[in-house]
Structure 1
Amino acid sequence: MPGLYFMGIDLGTTSVKISIALNGKQVASVSQPTKADTKSSVGSAGFEQDVAIILSTVQSCMKELSPETLSSVKKICITGQMHGVVLWCSKHLNKFYIQENNAFNVQHTSRLYTWQDQRCSAEFLTSLPKPCSHLPLSTGHGNATLFWLSRYQPDFLTSFDRAGTIMDFLICVLCGLEFPITSNQLAASWGYFDSSTGCWNKEILGQKSFPFHLLPQVLNPGEKAGTLQFDWFSIKKGTPVLVALGDTQCAVYSVLSNPDEAVLNLGTSCQMAFPEFLETVPTFPESSSPVQFFPYFNNQYLAVAASLNGGNVLSQFVSMLQNWIAAFGCVKSKEDIWKTLLESSPKTNKNENPIKIHPTIFGERHAPSQYGKVSGITASNMDLHSVFNALCKGIIENITRMVSPSYLKQKGVKKLLGTGSVIHKNPIIQREVMTQYGDIDVELGRECDSAFGAALFCEATDSS
């Protein structure tokens, strides 16, 4: 019977995943890495991705799903990496997809400036007008990036008349939308968005000649953005597509089953999150607070402590080791390095003061000038495995400084669900989560899945 399934698509930082759900269960899924990172014109401060590669990966995932499954898709919900921004020119909209070849033809767009982008310095951010929002503005936020482009690359901006997240762009192409539409979840992640009124800070942005005409229209989660304007593989033209959602919200939605649960998701970055009703939304942010409140579902907010330091720190460490080894003329794959790190134990004497690592090498949004440091080094605790253990421990200690076990208890949290690829694959991280959050019931092994969460929410909005 056609029209049974609900599709969730996650355009993540490092991969694309598609999930097909029915009756709250995942019936099919496929995932592929994007490998879309590209060099930035601003050097190491810029984190940019190739839009064409991301959408090509979407197509590759679609090809792995059977025509029978795709022909039964009733509704689509797209989620993905928050904060980032891509620009395009609307007059080329009908050229972005070649129906005869069933392929994207992405030209006349900017690169995707991702959430990891560091071009907006603290000095630059303080020069911007103060937002009317309960969320602070940080580098990597869409509107901060647009401010930067308008100040330093104004001629570049004149090539475009639309902006949105990568998910908003995909929806525009699929649905033939002349003007982008986003959700309040994603708008809040860009900055200069008042969640209590559901509106952009138009008057504030207008004071600084901000390119306000680029900003998308904002809808609530569950509202329809449009319908497919062509058959997409075996999914029929006219299939509804919901407004795009934040990947953090969808990831949490995929695993939470009770109101007294919190999620610790450790992947590329690290997030601690739990839903909460807010009677009033603050007018201005507490910029020094590590916990922020993002629009969630059903008029709730999601309390989120989003660390910029997670699996990316461990990946950086492995890359560093690989480079050091190469400097001596040796070749070692990252896979081999990971195997060595995860299978061995530290040689440090248990009675000795261990090395301590604060692994905040990417800074933190609530403390942008806070970077990594190492202390407690002795002649006997600098072996590779002691350092790696200290690094893993430091990552979890960093999140406990942001959200302590006592804070979770105060908020009524009784159970902590540990999810994410880093927790699943790294027994040292698992041990540290169990140890440092030992005052709360901890369950490891749940699969936090933004694509599945989008599919579940898509099904939850279905009234037929």
Structure 2
Amino acid sequence: MLTYLGIDLGTTSVKASIVKDGKQLASCSHSTNASTNSSIGSAGFEQDVGMILKALQACLRGLSPETLATVKKICITGQMHGVMLWSSKHTQEIYNREKNEFEISCASPLYTWQDKRCTEDFLTSLPKPRSHLPLATGHGNATLFWLSRFQPEFLTSFNRAGTVMDFLVCILCGLDFPIMSTQLAASWGYFDSNGKCWNKEILRQESFPCHLLPQVAEPGKIAGDLQFDWFMIKRGTPVLVAVGDTQCAVYSILRNPNEAVFNMGTSCQLAFPEFLETVPESPDPSSPVQYFPYFNNQYLAVAASLNGGNVLSQFVSMIQNWMGYFGCVKSKDDVWRTLLESTSTSVSNSITINATIFGERHAPSKLGEVSGIASNNMDLHQVFLALCRGLVENLTNMMPPTFLKQKGIGKILGTGSVIHKNPIIQNEVITQYGCLDIELGGHSDSAFGAALFSEAADKS
């Protein structure tokens, strides 16, 4: 029996999935608890790479050795946009084969997609990219620009850069130089999707550290072979170039060309594949819909909101903090239980909440707002209902039902942890996209999608 392994290095957890003939045989996930304090304070969103890889090891230990021994090919996906740096001098030393552990040395934190260090003024100061995608804070090359201008000495310790997935591929395959897929390159900024190359001429004029830019390859290309026995996965097993988690999540659930995927987890996306002959050479920063390289020469039309389950988590934390002032202690589970069990979706509610507390890439200054407050509508449940409605309305404004219908989309597949657990969000999706068929309860899974793609690429 031959199987395919998909690994997802996500924002809050790591997951591994093993697939055969399009069906998942086994899976395991672990929280990373990788967030660390940033030297620049609240604007920095950084993670400990060692904690991410420790969670990965725990996932593999949770899978049977017999199943791991059947893996024919590995495909790694994970959180897009982010960047980390390392020294190629130490790549061969990072995996301790005797202890079967990763020992990270001479590597930076992972600066994630949530990073806010690149202000609007800073982004305005950067050269315009020759790309159909606009540059935003949290994008790898924007972060590298920031580091080169404000922490240039820090950069001198490193000679390689990539996503955390590219870093893992380099370790597993013993690569001296990272190879990045077009999917991840596009998510970094300053990448020409038509020419499939970096905007090096533009970047060099601004003294950007171009020597850090990875090589680029199409999804499905083999980056290298496993250089050691990894648990029971055999040395010599091919490893594909890493791909995007949004693309893999859509790939895992989409089956028909007239379907779109509505996913709400930490953030929120609505996406569908589309064939494009070419893409524009310049971005439209104000457009809420962007096109990212997908699989099989398609692009993925994506309305990607920075606001999803993270907003609801902030609301729960706020309630806990307020209660703490009165000496009351309630766990997050208790607060969630009260909010979800006691809220009726039929309650009349005149409160309007624009729930964009984390801004949006196409409108970074658009923060949250509350209006319509009256003396009789400030009940906790009514406020929570308005917050849930506002989250879905935000995505509806980014990608309206009329836009989907014009593109031939007739059905929405709802997925993600928030949609699965929150009946209020479910009801709002049905209400706001009611002119389309809605199927909720589906399960998108980036690790599963990566494994599926690995199998499909092997058989094509």
Aligned match of 1:20 in 9, 18, 21?
18
Amino acid at match of 1:232: W
Distance 2:284 2:137 in 1: 16
SS at structure 2 position matched to 1:456: helix
8 A contact 2:85–2:162 mirrored in 1: yes
Tell me, which stretches of 5 or more residues in structure 2 are unaligned? none
Per the alignment, residue 392 of structure 1 pairs with 388
Once the two structures are TM-superposed, the CA of residue 330 in structure 1 deviates from its matched residue by 1.2
State the partner residue of 2:315: 317
Write out aligned runs for 1:129-140 (5 A): 129-140=127-138
Q: TM-score, normalised by structure 2?
A: 0.99
Equivalence map 1:258-337=2 (5 Å): 258-337=256-335
- 1:279 positional shift: 1.7
DSSP 3-state at the match of 2:14: strand
The match for 1:251 is 249
Q: CA deviation at 1:132?
A: 0.3
The residue that corresponds to 2:97 in the other structure is 99
Q: Which residue of 2 aligns with 1:206?
A: 204
1-structure distance, mates of 2:443, 2:275 = 25
Secondary structure class of the residue paired with 1:416: strand
Residue 143 (structure 2) aligns with: 145
Secondary structure at the residue paired with 1:340?
helix
- Give the aligned residue type for 2:241: V
- 1:49 aligns with 47
Whether contact under 8 Å (1:348, 1:381) holds in the other structure is no
Q: Is the contact between residue 348 and residue 386 of structure 1 (CA under 8 Å) also seen in structure 2?
A: no
Alignment correspondent of 2:355: 359
CA distance 1:430–1:436, change in 2 (3 Å) = same
Q: Say which SS state the counterpart of residue 132 (structure 2) adopts.
A: coil
> Deviations 1:293-350 (Å, cap 9, x if unpaired)?
0000111000000000000000000011111111111111000000000001259963
> Is the partner of 1:30 in helix, strand or coil?
strand
Q: Deviations over 1:236-286 (max 9, x none)?
A: 000000000000000000000000000000000000000001122100011
User: Kindly tell me: are residues 68 and 107 of structure 1, through their superposed partners in 2, closer, same or farther at Cα, counting changes over 3 Å?
Assistant: same
Q: Give the corresponding residue for 1:459.
A: 455
Judge conservation of contact 2:135–2:189 (CA < 8 Å) in 1. Answer: yes
Instruction: Tell me: CA distance 1:202–1:324, structure 2 relative to 1, closer, same or farther (3 Å).
Output: same
Q: Distance in 1 between matches of 2:350 and 2:381?
A: 12
**Alpha carbons of structure 1 residues 264 and 349: separation in structure 2 relative to 1, 3 Å:** closer
Amino acid at match of 2:66: E
Residue 405 in structure 1 maps to residue 421 in structure 2: no
| SS of equivalent to 1:132 | coil
CA contact (8 A) 1:354 1:381 kept: yes
Aligned partner letter, 1:428? I
AA partner of residue 80 (structure 1): G
Q: Indicate yes or no: 2:425 matched with 1:429.
A: yes
Question: Aligned in 2, Cα 1:329/1:94: closer, same or farther, shift over 3 Å?
Answer: same
Residue number among 133, 143, 155 corresponding to 1:157 in the alignment = 155
Distance 1:348 1:409, change over 3 A: closer
Deviations, residues 142-192 of structure 1 (Å, cap 9, x unaligned): 000000000000000000000000000000001100001110000000000
Output the CA distance in 1 between the equivalents of 2:430 and 2:164: 36
Q: Which residue of 2 aligns with 1:178?
A: 176
Q: Say whether the 8 Å CA contact 1:79–1:250 is kept in structure 2.
A: yes
Q: Distance in 2 between matches of 1:419 and 1:347?
A: 20
Deviation of residue 94 (structure 1)?
1.3
Query: Aligned partners of 1:415 and 1:230: how far apart in 2?
Result: 45
Conservation of the 8 A alpha-carbon contact between 2:173 and 2:225:
yes
Cα distance per residue 1:405-446 (max 9 Å; x no partner): 111000000000000000000000000001100000000011
Give 2:441's match in structure 1, choosing from 434, 442, 445.
445
Query: Structure 2: which amino acid aligns with 1:234?
Result: M
For 2:412, the equivalent position in structure 1 comes to 416
Structure 1: how far apart are the matches of 2:318 and 2:78?
29
Deviations 1:109-131 (A, max 9, x none): 00000000000000000000100
Q: Across the two proteins, how many residue pairs are aligned to each other?
A: 460
Amino acid in structure 2 at the alignment position of 1:164 = G
Distance 1:69 1:410 in 2: 45
In structure 1, runs of 5+ residues without a counterpart are: none
AA of the residue aligned to 1:149: L
2: CA distance, partners of 1:348 / 1:33:
35
What TM-score does the superposition give when structure 1 sets the normalisation length? Answer: 0.98
User: Structure 1: which 4+ aligned runs deviate by more than 6 Å?
Assistant: none
* Identity percentage of aligned residues: 72
Q: For 2:45 and 2:52, locate their aligned partners in 1 and report how far apart those are by CA, in whole Å.
A: 15
1:287 and 1:410 map into 2 onto residues whose CA distance is 22
2:73 aligned counterpart, secondary structure: strand
Q: Work out the CA distance in 2 between the residues paired with 1:36 and 1:52.
A: 8
Cα distance in 1, alignment partners of residues 261 and 68 from structure 2: 31
The equivalent of 1:378 in structure 2 is: 374
Corresponding residue of 1:68: 66
Q: Which residue of 1 aligns with 2:31?
A: 33
Match of residue 78 from structure 1: 76
The one-letter amino acid paired with 2:419 is I
Q: Is the alpha carbon distance of 1:312 and 1:126 closer, same or farther for their aligned partners in structure 2, counting shifts above 3 Å?
A: same
Aligned counterparts of 2:343 and 2:241: Cα–Cα separation in 1: 47
